[in-house]
Amino acid sequence: MEEHLTVGRVAELAAVSVRTLHHYDEIGLVQPSARTAAGYRAYAAGEVERLREVLAYRRLGFGLREIADLVDDPNTDAVAHLHRLRGLLLEQRDRAAATVTAIDHELERRAMGIRTTPEEQLKVFGAELYEVIGSAYPATRRTEPRIAEQVWAALGDARTVLNVGAGTGSYEPPGREVTAVEPSAVMRALRPAGAAPCVDASGERLPFADQSFDAAMAFSTIHHWQDPIAGLREMRRVARRVVVFTHDASDVGWRNRFWLSRDYLPEVAAMVAGRPSVDRLAAAIGARLEPVLIPWDCADGFFEAYWRRPEAYLEEHVRRAVSVWTRVGPEAEQRAVTNLRADLASGRWADRNPELVALDAAELGLRLLIA
């Protein structure tokens, strides 16, 4: 018979309270499979292993719902979790060390009577956006098979594919030789075990020779690039074919068509102001444009994904996996969520958007650029 550890012993070893373990059991996160003769919960080895993963993700700041998604992911085994946790912890350690160094530096300067400028003070925390929000990403961001098919078809017969701004690799095509490029260490650490090799670089400066890939792809990333046109030209330089999934930032029609930005989050307009239009982006590399429809049950939780499932935006973990919500700031976010919640309860949302329930897919300005 398999050996079990009692709830008290597990709590003692893991330095958590028995109450915490009871709570994890009640919410289905870590459920012991046995009871002792006296009726105490008892954990088998596999359950202890799962608890270890849960506690490690918790220590890294993940919420319980996100952790449930992570530990229930059928594509990630215990070894893959260990690799991912190791990467995230090393990243956290490096960031803490860098912050300590910066603080020491500032203390020395203050001791010498030198004041640091506001810019210098903020540099200590000036992480790239995805260094901050990346850990929340896997909860809802995954491959949407219908959109993936469209992207992969656009890659044609390319055998070698460069995926720029690859994140966790949701749209990396199977059956081809993929190389990923991703500047965020947090995102790189979240790539599943066995994912394509990943290089630390940015789209604007790709460390590859001219024409070294059959195709280069970029999915839902160029709106983060400092210079998307330079990045697209870089992709064109290193690959014979370029496929980019993005949205038209300048399309007022798009913002007005999507009820979330139109009625609840008008801040999005200011956020995208000044970005090159999709026509300008396409012209920079001689690309043609192909519309991408968003299925009503889209599996990838990007900003527009829940256009027919408005309740989803009330969920914290849904919002945390989309950079827009972090960029607009907590005040705008709270206002939008409060108003949406009230409109859903009163029926006002349904009254304003009667046409959506009958749609299976929506055209909200998402485009493939194919060159």
Ligand X SMILES: C[S@@+](CC[C@H](N)C(=O)[O-])C[C@H]1O[C@@H](n2cnc3c(N)ncnc32)[C@H](O)[C@@H]1O
Q: Among candidates 260, 259, 262, 235, which has minimal Cα distance to 246?
A: 235
Binding ligand X (rule: CB under 6 A), the pick from 50, 141, 236, 241 is 141
Q: Among candidates 203, 261, 256, which has minimal Cα distance to 232?
A: 203
Compute the least distance from the CB of residue 161 to ligand X, in Å: 13
The DSSP bridge partners found for residue 241 are 215
Compute the least distance from the CB of residue 3 to ligand X, in Å: 41
Query: How big, in percent rounded to 5, are the helix, strand and coil portions of the chain?
Result: 50, 15, 35
Residue list 245-304, contact with ligand X (CB under 6 A):
none
* Contact flag: residue 221 with ligand X (CB under 6 A): yes
Binding ligand X (rule: CB under 6 A), the pick from 43, 152, 213, 225 is 225
Q: 51: which 2 tokens?
A: 């608890």
CA distances, 70 to each of 124, 181, 365 (Å):
30, 23, 31
Annotate each residue in 197-216 with x if it binds ligand X (CB under 6 A) or - if it does not, as one string: -----xxx------------
Report the C-alpha gap between 295 and 144 in whole angstroms.
Answer: 9
Q: Are 32 and 73 in contact (CB under 8 A)?
A: no
18-26 and 45-59 are packed helices; what angle lies between their axes, rounded to 10 degrees?
100
Residue 158 burial (CB count, 10 A): 21
Report the C-alpha gap between 74 and 80 in whole angstroms.
Answer: 11
Binding ligand X (rule: CB under 6 A), the pick from 47, 91, 182, 333 is 182
* Contact flag: residue 171 with ligand X (CB under 6 A): yes
Q: Give residue for tokens 């799962």.
A: 50
Binding part of the chain for ligand X, among 47-55, 63-71, 119-127, 182-190 by CB under 6 A, reads 182-190
Binding part of the chain for ligand X, among 94-102, 221-229, 262-270, 324-332 by CB under 6 A, reads 221-229
Task: Pick the closer one to ligand X by CB: 164 or 371.
Answer: 164
Task: Pick the closer one to ligand X by CB: 227 or 290.
Answer: 227
Compute the least distance from the CB of residue 304 to ligand X, in Å: 12
- Name the DSSP class of 205: B
* Contact flag: residue 184 with ligand X (CB under 6 A): yes
* Contact flag: residue 130 with ligand X (CB under 6 A): yes
Task: Pick the closer one to ligand X by CB: 54 or 161.
Answer: 161
Task: Pick the closer one to ligand X by CB: 68 or 187.
Answer: 187
Residue whose beta carbon is closest to ligand X: 167
* Contact flag: residue 224 with ligand X (CB under 6 A): yes
Q: Which residues contact 105 (CB under 8 A, 6 or more apart)?
A: none
Annotate each residue in 95-114 with x if it binds ligand X (CB under 6 A) or - if it does not, as one string: --------------------
Q: Among candidates 36, 196, 65, 63, which has minimal Cα distance to 188?
A: 196
Give the total of residues touching ligand X (CB under 6 A).
Answer: 21
* Contact flag: residue 165 with ligand X (CB under 6 A): yes
The residues binding ligand X (CB under 6 A) are: 130, 141, 164-168, 170-171, 182-184, 187, 202-204, 219-221, 224-225
